[in-house]
Amino acid sequence: MQGFTLDERLQRDSALIATLGLSELRLMRDKRWPWLLLVPQRPGVSEVFDLAPLDQTMLTFEINEVARALKEATGAEKINIAAIGNMVRQLHVHVIARFEGDANWPGPVWGHGTAEPFNEDEMAALAHKITEAMARS
Amino acid sequence: MQGFTLDERLQRDSALIATLGLSELRLMRDKRWPWLLLVPQRPGVSEVFDLAPLDQTMLTFEINEVARALKEATGAEKINIAAIGNMVRQLHVHVIARFEGDANWPGPVWGHGTAEPFNEDEMAALAHKITEAMARS
């Protein structure tokens, strides 16, 4: 996408697992929770209402597809979805699988403790489960 | 809306300020942050992807309208938007105005400290500013 460059912190903290119509779908390098990011490939956007109307609708579609697939792939108790961006201003939407008894349940994941990295095999296996669930829907 | 009953905790923690096409727009009784809730008037829904497709689009429209108005009314540095629902399962979307140096900036608002109630005049004044900003857009 012309002019779009992924924020350095998002790049470092997550890995690309698919490119959707609007967004990069990325998996956070933190095995405490199955935690995805959707990053719309649009330059200079930090609030959802700064997106063009059609992009807003596409983002909603992508969030819902990804959230449903994440729930199906993981059997999560609840999916948490958020656009926060107090630290990284490039618009990115969190889609996170939560389980009773997980780290910080029922509190939020943001700002809690420090990331626990996956090994590459674990990360690839989770990414595969999620993209498979997306392909089925 | 047939069959829709607002969750008791949402009822207690927030006040109705407008009824939109899909959602109740409510203001949290916590003056630490200007904090709105959108509660789609649909029974038995806890995940955004459980809404009918047209309702998903309407909810996106309402979120974006409310978020833009909240930013305009408050001059917020960043708007935080989230559907979490680990504790209250009835679908509700948080739309929160954040400022550098506010309580827990840049961390999240959920689970931080305890609510500081408004007096009725402060609450009515903030609700009025927000609904006025919505009417202008």
pLDDT in tens, B81-112: 999 999 999 999 999 999 999 999 999 999 99
Measured between alpha carbons, how far is B48 from B52 in angstroms, rounded to an integer?
9
Question: Which CATH number do you get for residue B73?
Answer: 3.30.428.10
Residue A131 lies in a domain: yes
Interface check for B111 against chain A (CB to CB < 8 A): the answer is: yes
| ipTM of the prediction greater than 0.85, yes or no | yes
Average confidence (pLDDT) over A49-78: 97
Residue B18 lies in a domain: yes
Residue in A67, A68, A80 closest to B84 by CB: A80
Residue B88 lies in a domain: yes
**Over 70: is that where the pLDDT of A1 sits?**
no
Listed in sequence order, the residues at least 6 apart from B103 whose beta carbon sits closer than 8 Å to its beta carbon are B32, B33, B109, B112, B113
Which residues from A are below 8 Å from B79, CB to CB? Answer: 47, 49
Q: Do A107 and B111 touch (CB under 8 A)?
A: yes
The rounded percent of chain A whose pLDDT value lies above 90 is: 96
Residue A63 lies in a domain: yes
**Over 90: is that where the pLDDT of A35 sits?**
yes
Measured between alpha carbons, how far is A90 from A69 in angstroms, rounded to an integer?
24
Average confidence (pLDDT) over A88-104: 98
Residue A2 lies in a domain: no
Residue B76 lies in a domain: yes
Q: How many domains does chain B divide into? A: 1
**Over 80: is that where the pLDDT of B57 sits?**
yes
Interface check for A58 against chain B (CB to CB < 8 A): the answer is: no
Residue B2 lies in a domain: no
Q: Do A46 and B81 touch (CB under 8 A)?
A: no
Residue A93 lies in a domain: yes
Measured between alpha carbons, how far is A59 from A65 in angstroms, rounded to an integer?
10
> So what's the pLDDT on residue A115?
97
Average confidence (pLDDT) over A1-9: 89
Which residues from A are below 8 Å from B87, CB to CB? Answer: 106
Measured between alpha carbons, how far is B70 from B6 in angstroms, rounded to an integer?
23
Q: Identify whether the C-beta of residue A24 lies closer than 8 Å to the C-beta of residue A38.
A: yes
Domain ranges, residue A16: 8-136
Q: What single string gives the DSSP state of each residue in A94-113?
A: EEEEE-TTSTTTTS-STTSS
Q: What is the DSSP letter of B84?
A: -
> So what's the pLDDT on residue B137?
74
Sign of CA dihedral B101, B103, B104, B110: negative
